[in-house]
Copies of this chain bind each other. A is one copy, B any other.
Amino acid sequence: MAKVGIVGASGYTGAELLRLLAGHPDLEVAVATGDSQAGQPVADLYPSLVGAYGDRTFDTYDPAAVDGLDLVFCALPHGASQAVVPDLRDRVGAVVDLAADFRLADADLYPEWYGEAHTVPDLLAEAAYGLPELFRPDLLGATLVAGPGCYPTAAALALAPLLRAGLVAPTGIVVDAVSGVSGAGRPAKPTTTFCAADGDVTAYGLLRHRHTPEIEQTLTRVAGTAAQVVFTPHLVPMSRGMLATCYSRPVEGTTAADVAAAVADAYAEEAFVSVVPGSPSTKATQGSNAAHVAAHLDERTGWIVSLCALDNLGKGASGAAVQCANLALGLPEGTGLSTIGTYP
């Protein structure tokens, strides 16, 4: 039984880690910190966790308390991980960070898209990007993992097989996506009250959403040449779930059979990715670590429409983090994770 910590356990991704780890046979939560909620019972904030964490309170972060842990999940807001991770790496076996702090290999992208220079740019090269379906070898035994963003995971799973197979152009791509409201985090904001979000769909982060360079980085890596996307996220009235609908241009000669084969081959051995007919449905992945993918060639207009659905807190965040932790620690990759969500 490996001992793990969660730094920033009081947010939604932290709470989802607590949920997943309560059912994980090989990992035990030794420490769960939440500075803004320190001292508060876990079950006060998350009554859903009362059966498994009835006696526990959120701890204040204390470096000594994590010393010697096998692995620590960092579920802090973006920017906060940079301050903690360098020290953490000296204390624990491995770190899986769920923020954006170690996702971009090019430090110059941080000031451009996140508004601030990276404080430990040298560490970026040491971080493995936590998308096992595309970059598994990097993750085996990794000591620093950057868990991908939810939108970048959905976009990458929908587009990477086509780019890897050379079937589509790497530029001119449109990624139009929707997310459930939990993607905006636990703190109450005017835009995420029930009354604001219920019955509403709206786009946000138009042209400038921070996940854009991360999507481009992954697509560039699989394409082997610079990829470019316009990305439009939308907020939709549901708690969990994400769907990316991606539009790319087939290269001359690409057939529907090529498209189908590229996707089928890419995921034939992947436990957490299913290729589905028609359109994937976000609800089919709710509460699980599954991603569902489909791709269609429109011969009439010369577009390929490829889609990916996942749970933004599952495969889009905490589920993926556990999957990566399993790989980092040498455990079977799917330990403690499920492909089956709650339905309905």
Q: Counting CB contacts under 8 A, is A176 at the interface?
A: yes
The 8 Å CB contact of A198, one of B174, B176, B200, B239, is B239
Q: Counting CB contacts under 8 A, is A307 at the interface?
A: yes
- List A259-280 residues whose CB lies under 8 Å from chain B: 271-272, 274, 276, 278-280
- List A194-221 residues whose CB lies under 8 Å from chain B: 194-204, 206-207
Contact B199 A283 (CB under 8 A): yes
- List A231-283 residues whose CB lies under 8 Å from chain B: 232, 234, 236-241, 243, 245, 247, 271-272, 274, 276, 278-283
Contact B298 A230 (CB under 8 A): yes
Contact A245 B274 (CB under 8 A): no
Contact B243 A234 (CB under 8 A): yes
Contact A245 B176 (CB under 8 A): yes
Q: Counting CB contacts under 8 A, is A119 at the interface?
A: no
Contact A188 B186 (CB under 8 A): no
Looking at the assembled complex, report how far the CB atom of A205 sits from the nearest CB atom of chain B, in whole angstroms: 9
The 8 Å CB contact of A279, one of B12, B15, B52, B206, is B206
Q: Counting CB contacts under 8 A, is A135 at the interface?
A: no
- List A153-208 residues whose CB lies under 8 Å from chain B: 172, 174, 176, 178, 180-182, 186, 188-190, 192-204, 206-207
Number of copies: 4
Question: Which size class do A's interface residues fall under?
Answer: 35 or more
Q: A199-B239, A203-B279 are in contact. Are A232 and B342 (CB under 8 A)?
A: no
Q: A192-B194, A245-B232 are in contact. Are A340 and B283 (CB under 8 A)?
A: no
Looking at the assembled complex, report how far the CB atom of A47 sits from the nearest CB atom of chain B, in whole angstroms: 4
Q: Counting CB contacts under 8 A, is A229 at the interface?
A: yes
Q: Counting CB contacts under 8 A, is A103 at the interface?
A: no
Q: Counting CB contacts under 8 A, is A338 at the interface?
A: yes
Contact B234 A199 (CB under 8 A): no
Q: A19-B343, A23-B338 are in contact. Are A279 and B204 (CB under 8 A)?
A: yes
Interface centre among A54, A195, A342 (most CB of B within 10 A): A195
Q: Counting CB contacts under 8 A, is A114 at the interface?
A: no
Besides A51-B274, A194-B237, A236-B238, 8 new A-B residue pairs in contact (Cβ under 8 A), listed by A number = A51-B271, A186-B193, A188-B190, A201-B238, A228-B300, A236-B237, A240-B342, A342-B342
> Which residues of A line the B interface, CB within 8 A?
12, 15, 19, 22-23, 46-52, 54, 172, 174, 176, 178, 180-182, 186, 188-190, 192-204, 206-207, 228-230, 232, 234, 236-241, 243, 245, 247, 271-272, 274, 276, 278-288, 290, 292, 296, 298, 300-301, 303, 305, 307, 309, 338-344
List 5 A-B pairs, minimum CB-CB distance, nearest first: A51-B339, A200-B283, A47-B284, A195-B344, A203-B279
